[in-house]
Amino acid sequence: MKRSLTATAAAIAGLLLLAGSPLVSAAHAQDAAAFFSAAFQTAPAGGRPQASAIPREVVSFTNRYAPGTIVISTSERRLYFVLGDGTAIRYGVGVGRPGFEWAGTKVVSQKREWPSWTPPAQMLKRRPDLPRHMKGGIENPLGARAMYLGSSLYRIHGSNEPNTIGQAVSSGCIRMTNEDVTDLYERVRVGTRVTVIR
């Protein structure tokens, strides 16, 4: 679908260019194709679109953290993967809603691709309507990847609700788009230090 939308955008821009439209130049024709390609990122196996309203980007980051560390600022709703050259990769994240905020240091104890989900007893008490277990897949709330934080119930994971990224809506887990969590997952190893600050 993404390929056809990109081709359609390029074709429309090309027709406007040939027609002499003052709105479209040759450069704009390429930009239109790139825009549609980015705007309609699709999930694996024909799943839901994974729109990313908060772009992933490399930013200046001159702090004391060692290269490879993950730093999560819940007040900013951003996750930083420290590169060690005075920069970090910054991702948009969803964080714990009021009453579920936390701060501290953990380590990545496990990594899972398309993880299954078993809601903890505390969550089932609050939400008895939830399933007792869900197999991994695009409908699973943990999304495409999960990185488990120590022995806690918290994870950095993907989401099938990309519109919640940048908000405080979770039960304490750190949510990312499936695209972003897959990118981070490839950079992170078991034992990676994760520092959560408010």
Q: Which of 29-38, 110-119, 138-147, 162-171 shows the lowest per-residue confidence on average (mean pLDDT)? A: 29-38
Q: How confident is the model at residue 96 (pLDDT cuts 50, 70, 90)?
A: very high
**45 in a domain, yes or no?**
no
> Taking residues 32-51, what's their average pLDDT?
36
**25 in a domain, yes or no?**
yes
Tell me: do 149 and 109 sit in the same domain: yes
**102 in a domain, yes or no?**
yes
Tell me: do 77 and 164 sit in the same domain: yes
Tell me: do 90 and 164 sit in the same domain: yes
DSSP of 50-74, one letter per residue? ---SS--EEEE--SSPPTT-EEEET
Please give the pLDDT value at position 52. 53
Q: Which of 36-45, 77-86, 150-159 shows the lowest per-residue confidence on average (mean pLDDT)? A: 36-45
Tell me: do 64 and 22 sit in the same domain: no
Tell me: do 36 and 63 sit in the same domain: no
Q: What angle do CA 140, 154, 97 make, to 5 degrees?
A: 85
**52 in a domain, yes or no?**
no
Tell me: do 85 and 155 sit in the same domain: yes
DSSP of 152-178, one letter per residue? SS-EEE--S-GGGTTSEEESSPEE--H
**87 in a domain, yes or no?**
yes
**49 in a domain, yes or no?**
no
Residue numbers of the domain that contains 125: 57-197
Looking at residue 130, which CATH number applies to its domain? 2.40.440.10
Kind and range of the H or E element at 134?
none
Please give the pLDDT value at position 119. 77
Rounded Cα distance between 136 and 139, Å, is 8
> How many other C-beta atoms lie within 10 A of the C-beta of residue 48?
13
Tell me: do 98 and 169 sit in the same domain: yes
> How many other C-beta atoms lie within 10 A of the C-beta of residue 190?
11
Q: What Rg, from alpha-carbon coordinates, does the chain have? A: 19
Tell me: do 9 and 72 sit in the same domain: no
Tell me: do 159 and 85 sit in the same domain: yes
* 173 is known as an active-site residue: yes
Cα-Cα end-to-end distance for the chain: 40
Tell me: do 132 and 163 sit in the same domain: yes
Instruction: With a cut of 50, say whether residue 13 has pLDDT above it.
Output: no
Task: Output the six-digit token pair for 154.
Answer: 């918290």
Q: How confident is the model at residue 51 (pLDDT cuts 50, 70, 90)?
A: low
* 28 is known as an active-site residue: no
More confident residue, 149 or 4: 149
φ/ψ of 192, rounded to 5, equals -60, 135
Q: Are 166 and 77 in contact (CB under 8 A)?
A: yes
**Active-site residue among 74, 157, 181, 192?**
157
φ/ψ of 152, rounded to 5, equals -80, 175
Tell me: do 24 and 66 sit in the same domain: no
Instruction: With a cut of 90, say whether residue 60 has pLDDT above it.
Output: yes
More confident residue, 145 or 23: 145
Rounded Cα distance between 130 and 150, Å, is 24
**47 in a domain, yes or no?**
no
Q: What is the pTM of this model?
A: 0.71
**176 in a domain, yes or no?**
yes
**Looking at the 3D structure of the chain, how many domains does it have?**
2
Helices (H), 26-157: 26-39, 121-126
Instruction: With a cut of 70, say whether residue 3 has pLDDT above it.
Output: no
> Taking residues 156-170, what's their average pLDDT?
92
Counted residue by residue, the chain has a size of: 198
Please give the pLDDT value at position 104. 95
**Active-site residue among 165, 173, 188, 196?**
173
